[in-house]
Structure 1
Amino acid sequence: MSEFPQQSGQQRQPEAQEQAVPASVRGAMDLGTMQTGGAAGPGAAPSTGGGEGASYRVSITAQDFQKYAEQSATVPVVVALYAPQSPESETFVETLAQLVDSYQGKLLLGTVDASKEQQVAQVFQAQTVPTVVAMLGGQAVPLVNSTVPAEQMRQLFDELLTLAAQNGVTGTAEPTTAATPKQLPPLHQEALDKLEAGDLDGAEASYNQALAENPGDKDAKLALAQVHLLQRVSAMDANAVRQAAADDQQNIQAALDVADLDVSGGHVEDAFRRLLQLVRTTFGDDKDTVRERLVELFDVVGSEDPRVTTARGQLMRALF
Structure 2
Amino acid sequence: MQPRNMSMSGVVDLAAVKAAGEAKAKAEQARAQRQDAGADAPAASPLVIEVTEATFESDVLQRSAEVPVVISFWADQAEQSKQLNAVLERLAGEYRGRFVLATAEVYANQLLFQQFGVQGVPAVFAVLAGQAMPLFQGLAPEDQVTEVLDQLIAVAEQRFGIVGQEVDPGTAPAQPQEPAPPRPATPQELALTAAHDALDAGDLSGAIRAYRNVLADEPANAEAKLGLAQAQLLDRVQGVDPQAARTAAADAPGDVQAQLTAADLDLVGGHVEDAFGRLVDTVRRTFGDERDTVRVRLLELFEVIGPDDPRVVAARTALARVLF
TM-score scaled by structure 2? 0.45
Higher relative contact order (CA 8 A, sep 6+): 1
